[in-house]
Chains A and B, each alone.
Chain A
């Protein structure tokens, strides 16, 4: 059993496929925590940075983009790399020294190393002179969904300050199975509706508020989404300062959250969600385009 640090054992200048350093591990931990709604996540590494993807039910996909400028050092020596990791283990490792920031002024530094295909992901954390080394087995990645959300086919787009959205989401009925999002160039411009056996609630939001930065709606759209699927996005909403909501011509929802880290860098988390098909939709619009949309 190896007692000494694994790092000491590797040779100087050994070429690894990927390595990165971050002065404050908390930045990464917080972002990945909002993606922690499934056991497994897929990691994509390119020369531009890291993308972490988590999916559920083939209807929702969350992506966290950690660009290379978020890191204090970022070395990448391949074309691209993909692997899967167990999220439960990863989060335990990233927060090994504790997940709260009780110790103000004490930062946990983070270093990641990936030798290459077939090797585990090594994560090294240091706090106050104590070092923890984690070696997490990587798994083969499966195909992930491509929602084919085309920027050219965006029908409606709203960019707003997150407080606005937080307020909106805090008022909706969480026991409702479905959430309907209506966006329109005409009033009501932005409306959230929930439905239950007792009736329905509708909340309307103005477009003229200074909370709304961009309002580009080309047509009236109404789409229903399963609230259970949207729930994981609330963690990202809580961290964010700005939010963009877009729907395309198939009703696919794209929510992008902009998060500002402690050192003033921006990073993004994006959620894609398929709309719930109307049961009485005779044409089955959207069937050909997204065979992955789940049916009730």
Chain B
């Protein structure tokens, strides 16, 4: 198993920093970094019932100027590492003004992803900084636990309104209930609602764009019919708070009563969050 990569473009270093920051906010302490020939994935490990699953995919060639991978075996030419994205984020943050960074898998006291940062220096000698991010190598027999979650059959797909508004509203709604009902229809309408014995609060967003990419089969003929799912409000608020990348679009897909699928894409990265519907009140 070997992995070495280099980044010379400062803009790519910044992009990597933003992606890892976003992932760090979305996952609960650790995640899986899956290294493949063409792609790099960040995968969440939260398997709890109400847990949000995160699947982030980067096209390696768009970030790294040099990339060399020797996986576990020739057929299974991939490496799965469990790490704390916070640690990796700190390493990239130190590289904010770097001339270049070099990342490699190394065995120090424990297996590490070593990030060597080459910083600009006024003197003749180079200035460098090294971060050792501890990793745990995930054995091959466990790889099947980290497959891409199945895309649920969604009845409706809308582009989310500005996350800032959604975030503010969710923060207040969090004080009222820990479950929020998200509903959308094919007329570009999205509602979020919390309800208890004492109060109900619902926010209505209108005139949202409706992308086609996720709907399979025929669209529901009644454009006004709403499809809803009840999800953990903290997780949804977390999603809205985590966006360090300025996403071009965030698409929200509702699988009636079963799942909320959030998808956003940035030139070379896609992040998907799968929020299961909860029956508990």
Contacts and interface: CB of A to CB of B under 8 A. Distances in A.
Interface of A: 1, 3, 5, 86, 88-89, 92-93, 95-98, 120, 127-137
B204 A5 contact: yes
B161 interface: yes
B198 A136 contact: yes
Given A132-B204, A133-B202, A133-B204, 9 more contacts: A3-B185, A3-B226, A89-B176, A92-B175, A93-B199, A93-B201, A120-B199, A134-B200, A135-B201
Contacts of A92: 172-173, 175-176, 201
B197 A137 contact: yes
A97 B169 contact: yes
A89 B175 CA distance: 8
A134 B199 CA distance: 7
Given A89-B176, A96-B201, A137-B197, A132 B169 contact: yes
B172 A96 contact: yes
B20 to A, nearest CB: 28
A104 to B, nearest CB: 15
A98 B168 contact: yes
Contacts of A86: 198-199
B191 A135 contact: no
Contacts of B206: 129-130
Q: Which 5 pairs, one residue from A and one from B, show the smallest C-beta to C-beta distance? A: A132-B203, A3-B226, A98-B168, A134-B201, A92-B172
A95 B205 contact: no
28 contacts: A1-B181, A3-B183, A3-B185, A5-B204, A86-B198, A89-B198, A92-B173, A92-B176, A93-B172, A95-B172, A96-B169, A96-B172, A96-B173, A97-B169, A98-B168, A127-B165, A128-B165, A129-B207, A130-B204, A130-B206, A132-B202, A133-B201, A133-B202, A134-B199, A134-B202, A137-B197, A137-B198, A137-B199
Contact of B175 (A88, A127, A131): A88
Contacts of A135: 199-201
A137 B176 CA distance: 13
Interface string B147-176: 000000000000001000100110011011
A134 B200 CA distance: 6
Interface string B187-230: 00001010001111111111100000000000000000010100
| Chief secondary structure at chain A's binding surface | mixed
A217 B191 CA distance: 59
Nearest to B189: A3
A127 B197 CA distance: 26
Nearest to B227: A3
Contacts of A95: 172
Nearest to A137: B198
A124 to B, nearest CB: 10
A9 to B, nearest CB: 13
B230 to A, nearest CB: 10
Contacts of A127: 165
Contact of B199 (A3, A5, A89): A89
A3 B193 CA distance: 9
A86 B175 CA distance: 13
Nearest to B200: A135
B181 to A, nearest CB: 7
A86 to B, nearest CB: 6
A5 B203 CA distance: 9
Given A3-B191, A3-B226, A96-B169, A130 B203 contact: yes
Contacts of B169: 96-97, 132
A95 B169 CA distance: 9
B181 A97 contact: no
A130 B202 CA distance: 11
A97 B176 contact: no
Nearest to A134: B201
A95 B206 CA distance: 20
Give the one of B172, B173, B181 with max A CB within 10 A.
B172
Contacts of A132: 169, 201-204
Nearest to A128: B165
A96 B176 contact: no
A137 B165 CA distance: 26
A135 B203 CA distance: 12
A119 B273 CA distance: 40
Contacts of A129: 206-207
B205 A130 contact: yes
Contacts of A89: 176, 198-199
Nearest to B197: A137
A131 B165 CA distance: 11
B165 A130 contact: yes
Nearest to B198: A137
Contacts of B207: 129
Nearest to B181: A1
A92 B185 CA distance: 27
Contacts of B200: 134-135
A129 to B, nearest CB: 7
A131 B206 CA distance: 9
A123 B183 CA distance: 21
